Amino acid sequence: VGVYLRHDYKHVTMDTIADQKMPEWCKRNRVTLIQLGLQLYKRASEDSRIQVSGSIDDWIYLVSDPHRIARRCHAGNFLFFNTEGRLRSCMFGTEYADIKQTPLDGIVALDGFAEARKLHASCSICVLACN
């Protein structure tokens, strides 16, 4: 079992990263989410079948102040695209190419790809930073 906490950020770019807001649901249920995180980390330490990635501190930050997450994003290890073939900078990021029209080896030469890499170097607001 793998457990991942995440928010549904929308269209993250270098210009909008600081404006990404935590869902109201997390704000209202922060104490419960932190208690659940503590329970999960404890259980994971006792049972190797449960895998919880990242630190408990980052879990707490994700439900209270995501911009304080210590680790940086590792989305740069992946290419994200939707079922229509539109590439995104990350699972929440903006679209920058169409894989149906751009050869895979040509994607790395795109300005959008370079911008996505800049974003990954500075972003720490979601589960990909917590892993």
Tens-digit pLDDT profile for residues 27-58? 899 999 999 989 999 999 999 998 877 788 88
pLDDT band at 89 (very low <50, low <70, confident <90, very high): confident
In a domain, 3, yes or no: no
Q: What per-residue confidence (pLDDT) applies to 88?
A: 87
Indicate whether 10 pLDDT > 80: no
In a domain, 2, yes or no: no
Helices assigned H by DSSP within 65-123: 104-107, 111-122
In a domain, 4, yes or no: no
Q: Tell me which residue range forms the domain holding 16.
A: 9-130
**CA atoms of 6 and 23, how far apart (whole Å):** 10
pLDDT band at 130 (very low <50, low <70, confident <90, very high): low
- b/e code 79-114 from CB counts within 10 Å (16+ = b): ebbeeeeebbbbbbbbebbeeeebeeeebeeeebbe
In a domain, 20, yes or no: yes
The two structure tokens encoding residue 92: 């929440």
In a domain, 1, yes or no: no
Per the model's pLDDT, the better-predicted residue between 3 and 99 turns out to be: 99
Overall domain count for the chain: 1
Tens-place pLDDT, residues 105-128: 888 888 888 888 888 888 888 766
In a domain, 114, yes or no: yes
